[in-house]
Amino acid sequence: MSNSTRARLSFRLLVCSCFAFPLAHAAALYTFSNTGGQPYSFSFLEPDIITSLGDVAIAPFTIGTSTFTQVAFGGECIAIAGAAGLVDGDSGGCDSGPGSNGAAWLITNPPLNHAGTYSILGTSLGTAPPAPNHVTISEVPAYSYTFSNTGGQPYSFTFLEQNLLTAPGVFAVPPFTVDGTTFTQAAFNPECFSFATAAGLVDASVAGCDVSSGWLIDSPGAIKPGTYHILGSQVGSVPSAPDLLTITFLPVPASAPEPSGLILLGGGLTGLALLPRRRRAAGN
């Protein structure tokens, strides 16, 4: 192989390695905090940074004695409320009501379109503790769990976890609805999953899983990314259980070089590619 051919191949390989950026993207972690006299923080994961207006499904969380279950994003505001309240978000703003003996926050914020830390201004309604005053949006690696039913009435649902589920126990999931039935609870064991409605109970231990109204799903070995054929059974009046589970790792993508850096790199690679020609010309 001639020197000029080697140079051209090296140039092509270098260009490919510089421009072949990974396409996978991480999840967006929203962390709200109050830095006052009684500090607290809570977080939830989203597939992407939220840019559309409307309600967002979250796993319930508790601050003090108040449990919050609903979130809505408006143009420059966020409404967060408990199960008894109502939230709404649109281009005109946000609305939040605590309901009877409930709690809610109405938060004013700048547009949260990028990762970063923002100061926010919140109002507490009902029995809610002082509202958060900061929010941090971070791109973080996460794991996507997608359960699906591939039968005559197919469906799927997905939730995100920051870490792989490996230890037995109950874990929080955003409520999801399948064929009119809403599931609000979940538990995991290395051999099984259980999902329950609000009226049911879930449990997971080393011995196995249990549920009083929902799904019992055998999923042996589902503790790493991959696709698993699972066997589920129904307890009570619920739809057919999922039969397929896909666990996907979502990495933080490598950052792309600045355009000016790419121009300098391209110029240098072009010079390397032309170097053998200059040597031959000098030899002649």
- Tens place of pLDDT for every residue, the chain, 284 residues? 555 544 444 444 444 444 444 455 789 999 999 999 889 999 999 999 998 889 988 999 999 999 999 999 987 899 999 887 878 776 567 878 786 668 899 999 888 889 999 999 999 999 999 999 999 999 999 999 999 999 988 999 999 999 999 999 999 999 999 999 999 999 999 999 999 998 888 888 767 788 999 999 999 999 999 999 999 999 999 999 999 999 999 998 776 455 555 455 555 555 555 555 555 555 55
In this structure, the number of other CB atoms found within 10 A of the CB of residue 65 comes to: 9
Amino acid at 136: T
Instruction: Please say whether the beta carbons of 193 and 187 come within 8 A.
Output: yes
Instruction: Please say whether the beta carbons of 85 and 99 come within 8 A.
Output: yes
Report pLDDT for 10: 43
Report pLDDT for 186: 95
**Dist CA 120 CA 99 (whole Å):** 24
**β-bridge mates for residue 79, sequence order:** 72, 106
- The pTM of the full predicted model, rounded to 2 decimals, is 0.78
The 66-73 sheet, strands edge to edge = 54-63, 66-73, 77-81, 103-108, 121-126
Report pLDDT for 270: 55
Report pLDDT for 164: 97
Residue 72 tokens, joined: 């809505």
Q: Which residues of 92-117 are buried (b: 16+ CB within 10 A; e: fewer)?
A: eebbbbbbeebbbbbbebeebeeeee
**Dist CA 150 CA 127 (whole Å):** 45
Amino acid at 101: N
**Dist CA 161 CA 206 (whole Å):** 21
Report pLDDT for 44: 95
Q: Which among 167, 168, 146 has a CA at the least distance from the CA of 155? A: 146
**Dist CA 276 CA 1 (whole Å):** 13
Residue 2 tokens, joined: 């001639």
Report pLDDT for 158: 96
Number of separate helices (H) and strands (E) present in the chain: 2, 23
